[in-house]
Every structure is written in structure tokens, then in C-alpha cells.
């Protein structure tokens, strides 16, 4: 009897975990499609850090949350602020501001990675700032996200869980049919 109760609880736990994973993946995919790319939660976008230019404060492979900005906010940063900006080749970079210059055409930021020896070669135009970093980081999760966006990651995170859910559903249906058959046999024997 204790074994049967333990199996029922294990069944419920596995079912719950699979449903949470399914809903979570669906929510992330839907959020990506609706936002046109990066998911945004409460005004923050999650970005993956791919280089060590900001170590040790922000480790390679981390996920950081950057606050989305209005046009006015993009021109209001000071020395020491950490911003995420779009480089000329559509590459996102997160670096610290070392100098703010106001020109006739707008505000320019000189930036530098904390782990770099020199400032970045090209100043950042305020319009190219995507967000501001306020200290929220989750180490190593970025590696997982980058892998999940690769073809092999798609197999691991979409096809294999889907297959496991189908297999688990098949086993559950088979057990239910077997239990119904046993009840019918007991009823026929009486």
C-alpha cells in the first residue's frame, strides 16, 4: 500500500513538472514572437553575456536584465553607469561609461569593459543605447540559452521533451486501460 501511494505521488510530481516545463517553454516562445525578439518582463529584457569584457562583475555565460529605455532616458547617463548598446554590426555590448560628451548632434558615451585595458574605439551615440544594467545577473544560464538556440539545442529542449511527454502519456494510458480491464475481470468473477 505504501508503494502504491509513493507511485501515485511520483506520478503527480512528474506530471506537474512536465506541465510546468511545457507551459514555460510555450510562454517563452510566445513572448519572443510577440516582442519581435528578446522577451521583456516588467520593463526588463534578458540578455546573454558572451564575452569576459565585464568580468569579474558580470561573468561570461551569465544572463543579465537590462531596463528598456525611453528616448529621453538614453541621453541621461553619467560616468560609471553600465549600458547595453548596439554596435555598428548589430552586435549588443554591455560596458561601463567612462566619459559623457554633449555635442550639437546629441550625447556621446565613451565606454570601456571593466576587464579591458583600453576604452572602446568608437563612442556610443545615445540613440544606440538599448538598455541600462542595474546589477541583476544569473551566472552560467546564458550558456544554456545559447545552446537551446542552436540546432542541437532545439533537439534537446524541444524534440526530446516532446517525445518523453508522448511516451509518458502512452504509459499512463496503458496503465489506466490495464486497471479498467482488471476491474472488469473482478466484476465478471462476482
- Looking only at the bridges linking them, the beta strands covering 129-138 and 40-41 are unpaired
Ramachandran bin of 149, using left for φ above 0, alpha for ψ from -120 to 50, beta for the remaining angles: alpha
Helix, strand or coil, per DSSP, at residue 47: strand
Helix, strand or coil, per DSSP, at residue 71: helix
φ/ψ of 26, rounded to 5, equals: -65, -40
Q: How far apart are CA 114 and CA 96, in angstroms?
A: 7
Q: Is the peptide bond before 22 cis (omega within 30 degrees of 0)?
A: no
Closest Cα partner for 144 from 83, 58, 34, 62? 62
Catalytic (active site) residue 51: yes
Burial class (CB in 10 A: 0-12, 13-18, 19+), 153: middle
Catalytic residue (choose from 31, 51, 68, 76): 51
CB 66 within 8 A of CB 44: yes
> Active-site residues: which are they?
51
Amino acid at each position: 500500500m505504501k508503494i502504491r501511494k509513493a507511485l501515485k505521488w511520483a506520478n503527480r510530481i512528474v506530471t506537474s513538472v512536465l506541465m510546468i516545463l511545457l507551459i514555460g517553454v510555450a510562454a517563452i516562445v510566445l513572448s519572443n514572437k510577440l516582442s519581435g525578439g528578446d522577451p521583456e518582463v516588467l520593463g526588463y529584457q534578458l540578455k546573454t553575456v558572451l564575452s569576459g569584457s565585464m568580468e569579474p562583475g558580470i561573468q561570461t555565460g551569465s544572463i543579465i536584465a537590462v531596463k528598456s529605455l525611453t528616448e529621453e532616458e538614453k541621453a541621461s547617463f553619467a560616468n560609471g553607469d553600465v549600458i547595453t548598446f548596439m554596435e555598428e554590426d548589430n552586435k549588443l555590448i554591455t560596458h561601463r561609461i567612462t566619459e559623457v560628451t554633449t555635442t550639437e548632434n546629441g550625447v556621446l558615451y565613451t565606454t570601456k569593459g571593466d576587464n579591458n585595458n583600453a576604452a572602446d574605439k568608437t563612442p556610443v551615440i545615445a540613440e544606440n543605447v538599448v538598455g541600462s544594467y542595474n546589477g541583476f545577473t544569473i551566472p552560467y544560464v546564458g550558456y544554456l540559452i545559447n545552446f537551446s538556440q542552436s540546432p542541437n539545442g532545439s533537439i534537446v529542449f524541444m524534440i526530446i521533451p516532446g517525445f518523453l511527454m508522448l511516451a509518458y502519456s502512452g504509459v499512463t494510458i496503458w496503465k489506466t486501460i490495464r486497471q479498467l480491464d482488471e476491474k472488469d475481470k473482478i466484476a465478471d468473477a462476482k
